[in-house]
């Protein structure tokens, strides 16, 4: 017998092996979506697609699934997105004409008193031009039927508008003049929770768009709370919708595609309430930095949410120096929910409780005393009211005391009458629960627990929420991300702050008002919190400024907003300027800044050269071939920014540094400004020259600010004010050492509550 396999069977065997290898290894699991930047090499679309397909064929591993271009970036950047293996991505990066290849990252999404609180009444002087200003909102889409977006009284879109309405389930109107959506790929379940349309099924995008540019809608409230008129900052501006966030996530490839379109469509301001993780890229090469750079080149200001990762230091997610990063702060309205025990003691909690127990006392039980033993829970593991941890028989019909924020979902499952959640120290946001309830300060929760233990039949009731005056406002919100930023600590970020706590605005009635299980209430208006909510306040303010000064650069608009912002107290706000930047936005004052700190593309390129970026990184961000030795290298301290930040290397180290700035006269043709400067303890600050005389509008003058001394505490706050008797042009100055960076944050232990709330609330779509 011949023991050798026949040639035929060998082939079959080889075929089987290769088939197995194919089935096994070409699984989609090894593939990731990458963005491939090609720089400006190709012009016409058909030929560039052929070239891209060729590149994909060249790098494809033999066992890989066939490759195709998922996205073709062609309008303001050049490049494409495709699914590649790690090896293919490596090969791709080595091809001629490829600038860089980077993996797609997933991002997160980050309300009527607010405008009045910042001194911007409904009937302000408005430019007729405001109808010509278009705010692009990159978010989770929009609820077009909302009254906030009614187009009564609006003429046709401005002639510069080149966008489209990519919707099958609604038509755009003269208020929402464009709408697109982006999603490069999705699984089977995706369509169960999403509609392939710019329609917003989550509420987030509707909320942000209405805050930036919604029409005034009177007599709105969330089931009676926050009653008043809701309105956008630029209430007659147009809205262009770019939906990139879905029920699960927002992705870089989609965000980049949205920027690519928006810039060419003709938007004036971009409002982006989305963020990544705080430890993301420090090279300005994420979708937000690249997208906003291109926008800046075209004269479009991008307004970004700073992030919801505070109060931890260095927790910013967005800090590109060509965009604005907006922190969140409180306003003078807070929501208070009272709890009364059988002993007549009353505690004040926080929530948006619209359910009425009518003062009736119900039995109250501590979650630790009601473990679901059948499911393996005991006293310790049921305290937090995690999923399935409680015994229905013991809790049903009672008020429940939980030790964790996730409690309301489980409380609803087991049929509790109400829920009290032990909060941490920071109770600065009010949440909706699917049943009567509130957060209690941990020391109050401890007293409630003590009362429960001390009685045979403990009882309690929870009252409806009422509004009260928060006289401490504005304060930086605990969840708002703090600087200094990790990439360029000597550029102060966030830039400024705006109301972002308990904001009432339009909502998608397809989405429940809270993310807790059992929440069934679907409303057209909702109260939520986050830098996602503060960001569109600044977008609206920026659009307002733009309507008066259509030719101002993004940097000039930002400067006007920053130098006129309402000063906040470094003593009362932990992390001082790193929490609130230049202060709280004041749109009316920003109309008359007097002087502006302007900056153009060239300025940012020299800054990027100074950051040591190599040619390919520069090409990726700027889309131009940059020779840094010709352009020059700028240190961050000298970037023409409306704020100053100085880092002291070691706490005991003597700082002797200076910053150069140029101001442009936009106030009165003939005027003289004098410098008034304060210095933090331990420092001297001087300005030369300290007198600037202007004889015409648009005239520029340069000065040097010099600082000398030693740190007394980890953050020192001061300011420079140029004053001509009519305008005060204020720049914050902050000096800090590594203690401020490493975050000896007093609030750190208290920080989870807000963050998890945000995860619950906003990640699912953002926040």
Positions annotated as catalytic residues are 139, 204, 532
Buried b (16+ CB within 10 A) or exposed e, 528-550: bbbbbbbbbbbbbbbbbbbbbbe
The Cα-based distances of 735 to 313, 511, 570 in angstroms read 15, 45, 12
Q: Is 30 in the site for ligand NAG (CB under 6 A)?
A: yes
How far apart (Å, rounded) are the C-alpha atoms in residues 144 and 450?
51
Residue with Cβ nearer ligand NAG (403 or 575): 403
Q: Is 686 in the site for ligand NAG (CB under 6 A)?
A: no
Residue with Cβ nearer ligand NAG (583 or 716): 716
How far apart (Å, rounded) are the C-alpha atoms in residues 170 and 164?
13
Binding marks (x or -) toward ligand NAG, 222..241, rule CB under 6 A? Answer: --------------------
Kindly state the tokens that stand for 264: 């060419």
Residue with Cβ nearer ligand NAG (96 or 380): 380
- N-terminal to C-terminal alpha carbon distance within the chain: 74
Residue with Cβ nearer ligand NAG (262 or 504): 504
CB of 656 to ligand NAG, least distance (A): 4
Residue with Cβ nearer ligand NAG (271 or 719): 719
Residue with Cβ nearer ligand NAG (66 or 656): 656
Q: Where are the beta strands (DSSP E) in 64-112?
A: 71-73, 79-84, 100-103, 106-109
CB of 61 to ligand NAG, least distance (A): 5
CB of 361 to ligand NAG, least distance (A): 28
Kindly state the tokens that stand for 139: 């978010």
Residue with Cβ nearer ligand NAG (501 or 545): 501
The Cα-based distances of 14 to 7, 24, 413 in angstroms read 11, 15, 57
Mark the segment that binds ligand NAG (CB under 6 A) among 142-150, 167-175, 378-386, 639-647.
378-386
How far apart (Å, rounded) are the C-alpha atoms in residues 382 and 763?
26
Q: Is 66 in the site for ligand NAG (CB under 6 A)?
A: no
How far apart (Å, rounded) are the C-alpha atoms in residues 524 and 398?
31
Which residues have CB under 8 Å from 441's CB, separation 6+?
Answer: 347, 349, 423, 425, 427
CB of 378 to ligand NAG, least distance (A): 10
Q: Is 471 in the site for ligand NAG (CB under 6 A)?
A: yes
Q: Is 334 in the site for ligand NAG (CB under 6 A)?
A: no
CB of 386 to ligand NAG, least distance (A): 6
The Cα-based distances of 523 to 166, 224, 431, 623 in angstroms read 26, 12, 15, 44
Q: Which of 332, 369, 699, 723 binds ligand NAG (CB under 6 A)?
A: 332
CB of 402 to ligand NAG, least distance (A): 9
| Nearest-CB residue for ligand NAG | 25
Assign 664 to helix, strand or coil.
strand
Q: Rounded to the nearest 5°, which phi and psi values hold at 304?
A: -120, 145
Residue with Cβ nearer ligand NAG (348 or 404): 404
| Residue 58, CA atoms < 13 Å, CB-side half-sphere | 15
Mark the segment that binds ligand NAG (CB under 6 A) among 25-33, 393-401, 509-517, 692-700.
25-33
CB of 421 to ligand NAG, least distance (A): 11
Mark the segment that binds ligand NAG (CB under 6 A) among 59-67, 94-102, 429-437, 483-491.
59-67
What is the phi-psi region of residue 435: left when phi exceeds 0, alpha when psi lies from -120 to 50, beta otherwise?
Answer: beta
Q: Is 64 in the site for ligand NAG (CB under 6 A)?
A: yes
CB of 256 to ligand NAG, least distance (A): 24
Binding marks (x or -) toward ligand NAG, 550..589, rule CB under 6 A? Answer: ----------------------------------------
* Opening angle at CA 548, ends 545 and 550, nearest 5: 90
Q: Which of 708, 721, 728, 739 binds ligand NAG (CB under 6 A)?
A: 708
Number of residues interacting with ligand NAG: please give it, by CB under 6 A. 27
Q: Is 174 in the site for ligand NAG (CB under 6 A)?
A: no
Kindly state the tokens that stand for 626: 């940059």
Q: Is 61 in the site for ligand NAG (CB under 6 A)?
A: yes
Radius of gyration in angstroms for the set of CA atoms belonging to the chain, rounded to a whole number: 28
Residue with Cβ nearer ligand NAG (389 or 485): 389
Which residues have CB under 8 Å from 190's CB, separation 6+?
Answer: 246, 247, 248
Q: Are 477 and 428 in contact (CB under 8 A)?
A: yes
Residues 399-438 that bind ligand NAG (CB under 6 A): 403-404
Q: Which of 6, 43, 457, 469 binds ligand NAG (CB under 6 A)?
A: 469
Q: Is 381 in the site for ligand NAG (CB under 6 A)?
A: yes
Q: Which of 231, 225, 243 is nearest to 146 (CA)?
A: 231
Q: Are 404 and 396 in contact (CB under 8 A)?
A: no
Name the β-bridge partners of 702: 662
Q: Is 26 in the site for ligand NAG (CB under 6 A)?
A: yes
Q: Is 656 in the site for ligand NAG (CB under 6 A)?
A: yes
Are β-strands 217-222 and 399-402 bridged in parallel, bridged antiparallel, or unpaired?
unpaired
CB of 574 to ligand NAG, least distance (A): 21
Q: Is 386 in the site for ligand NAG (CB under 6 A)?
A: yes
CB of 17 to ligand NAG, least distance (A): 11
Are β-strands 106-109 and 250-251 bridged in parallel, bridged antiparallel, or unpaired?
antiparallel
Q: Which of 67, 333, 334, 589 binds ligand NAG (CB under 6 A)?
A: 333
Q: Is 709 in the site for ligand NAG (CB under 6 A)?
A: yes
Is the Cα dihedral 499, 504, 505, 511 positive or negative? positive
Q: Are 583 and 566 in contact (CB under 8 A)?
A: yes
Q: Rounded to the nearest 5°, which phi and psi values hold at 469?
A: -90, 120
Residues 99-138 that bind ligand NAG (CB under 6 A): none
Residues 602-631 that bind ligand NAG (CB under 6 A): 627, 629-630
CB of 23 to ligand NAG, least distance (A): 10
Q: Is 25 in the site for ligand NAG (CB under 6 A)?
A: yes
Q: Where are the beta strands (DSSP E) in 428-482?
A: 437-440, 459-462, 466-469
How far apart (Å, rounded) are the C-alpha atoms in residues 322 and 328?
20
Q: Which of 82, 40, 87 is nearest to 62 (CA)?
A: 87
Q: Which of 76, 85, 506, 745 binds ligand NAG (CB under 6 A)?
A: 85
CB of 381 to ligand NAG, least distance (A): 5
Q: Rounded to the nearest 5°, which phi and psi values hold at 685?
A: -125, 135
Residue with Cβ nearer ligand NAG (161 or 676): 676
Residue with Cβ nearer ligand NAG (67 or 558): 67
How far apart (Å, rounded) are the C-alpha atoms in residues 583 and 719?
12
Q: Which residues bind ligand NAG (CB under 6 A)?
A: 25-26, 30, 61, 63-64, 85, 332-333, 380-381, 384, 386, 403-404, 469, 471, 627, 629-630, 656, 682-684, 708-709, 752
């Amino acid at each position: 017998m011949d023991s050798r396999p026949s040639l035929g069977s060998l082939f079959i065997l080889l075929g089987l092996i290769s088939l197995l290898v194919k089935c096994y290894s070409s699984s989609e699991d090894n593939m990731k979506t990458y963005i491939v930047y090609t720089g400006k090499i190709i012009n016409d679309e058909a030929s560039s697609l052929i070239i891209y397909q060729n590149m994909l064929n060249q790098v494809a591993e033999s066992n890989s699934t066939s490759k195709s271009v998922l996205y073709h970036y062609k309008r303001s950047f050049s490049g494409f997105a495709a699914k590649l293996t790690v090896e293919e991505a490596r090969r791709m990066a080595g091809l001629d004409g490829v600038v860089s290849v980077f993996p797609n990252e997933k991002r997160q999404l980050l309300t009527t008193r607010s405008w009045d609180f910042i001194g911007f009444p409904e009937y302000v002087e408005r430019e007729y031009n405001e109808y010509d200003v278009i705010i692009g909102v990159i978010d989770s889409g929009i609820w077009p039927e909302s009254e906030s977006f009614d187009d009564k009284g609006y003429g046709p879109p401005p002639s510069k508008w080149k966008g489209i309405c990519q919707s099958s389930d609604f038509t755009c109107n003269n208020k929402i003049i464009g709408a697109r959506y982006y999603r490069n790929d999705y699984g089977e379940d995706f369509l169960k929770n999403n509609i392939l349309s710019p329609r917003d099924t989550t509420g987030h995008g509707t909320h942000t768009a209405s805050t930036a540019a919604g029409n005034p809608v009177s007599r709105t409230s969330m089931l009676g709370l926050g009653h008043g008129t809701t309105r956008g900052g630029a209430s007659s501006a147009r809205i262009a919708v770019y939906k990139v966030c879905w029920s699960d996530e927002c992705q870089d490839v989609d965000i980049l595609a949205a920027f690519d379109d928006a810039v060419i469509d003709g938007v004036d301001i971009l409002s982006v309430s989305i963020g990544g993780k705080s430890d993301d890229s420090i090279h300005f090469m994420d979708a937000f930095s690249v997208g906003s750079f291109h926008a800046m080149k075209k004269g479009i200001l991008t307004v970004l949410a700073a992030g919801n990762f505070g109060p931890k230091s260095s927790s910013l997610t967005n800090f590109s120096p060509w965009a604005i990063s907006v922190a969140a702060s409180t306003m003078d309205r807070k929501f208070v929910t009272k709890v009364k025990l059988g002993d007549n003691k009353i505690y004040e909690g926080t929530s948006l409780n619209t359910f009425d127990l009518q003062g009736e006392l119900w039995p109250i039980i501590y979650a630790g005393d009601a473990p679901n033993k059948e499911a393996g829970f005991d006293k310790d593991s049921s305290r937090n009211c995690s999923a399935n941890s409680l015994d229905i028989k013991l809790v049903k019909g009672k008020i429940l005391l939980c030790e964790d924020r996730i409690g309301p979902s489980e409380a609803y499952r087991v049929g509790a009458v109400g829920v009290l959640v032990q909060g941490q120290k920071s109770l600065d946001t009010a949440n909706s629960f699917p049943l009567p309830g509130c957060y209690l300060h941990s020391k109050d929760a401890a007293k409630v627990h003590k009362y429960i233990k001390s009685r045979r039949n403990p009882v309690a009731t929870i009252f409806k929420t009422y509004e009260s005056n928060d006289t401490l406002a504005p304060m930086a919100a605990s969840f708002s991300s703090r600087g200094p930023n990790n990439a360029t600590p000597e550029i102060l970020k966030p830039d400024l702050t705006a109301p972002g706590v308990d904001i009432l605005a339009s909502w998608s009635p397809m989405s429940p008002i809270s993310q807790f299980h059992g929440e069934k209430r679907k409303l057209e208006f909702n109260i939520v919190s986050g830098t996602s909510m503060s960001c569109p306040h600044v977008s609206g303010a920026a659009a307002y400024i733009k309507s008066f000064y259509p030719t101002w650069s993004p940097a000039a608009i930002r400067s006007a907003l920053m130098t006129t912002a309402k000063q906040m107290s470094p003593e009362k706000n932990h992390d001082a300027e790193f929490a609130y930047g230049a202060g709280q936005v004041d749109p009316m004052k920003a109309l008359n800044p007097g002087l502006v700190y302007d900056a153009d593309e060239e300025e940012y390129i020299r800054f990027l050269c100074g950051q040591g970026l190599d040619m390919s990184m520069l090409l990726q961000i700027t889309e131009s071939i940059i020779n840094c030795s010709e352009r020059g290298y700028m240190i961050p301290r000298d970037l023409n920014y409306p704020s100053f930040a100085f880092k002291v290397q070691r706490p005991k180290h003597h700082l002797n540094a200076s910053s150069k700035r140029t101001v442009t006269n936009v106030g009165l043709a003939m005027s003289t400004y004098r410098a008034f400067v304060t210095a933090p303890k331990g420092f001297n600050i001087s300005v030369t020259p300290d007198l600037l005389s202007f004889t015409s509008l648009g005239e520029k003058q340069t000065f040097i600010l010099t600082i000398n001394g030693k740190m007394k505490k980890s953050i020192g706050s001061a300011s420079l004010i140029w004053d001509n008797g009519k305008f005060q042009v204020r720049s914050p100055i902050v000096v800090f050492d590594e203690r401020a960076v490493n975050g000896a944050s007093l609030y750190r232990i208290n920080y989870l509550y807000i963050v998890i709330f945000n995860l619950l609330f906003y990640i699912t779509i953002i926040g």
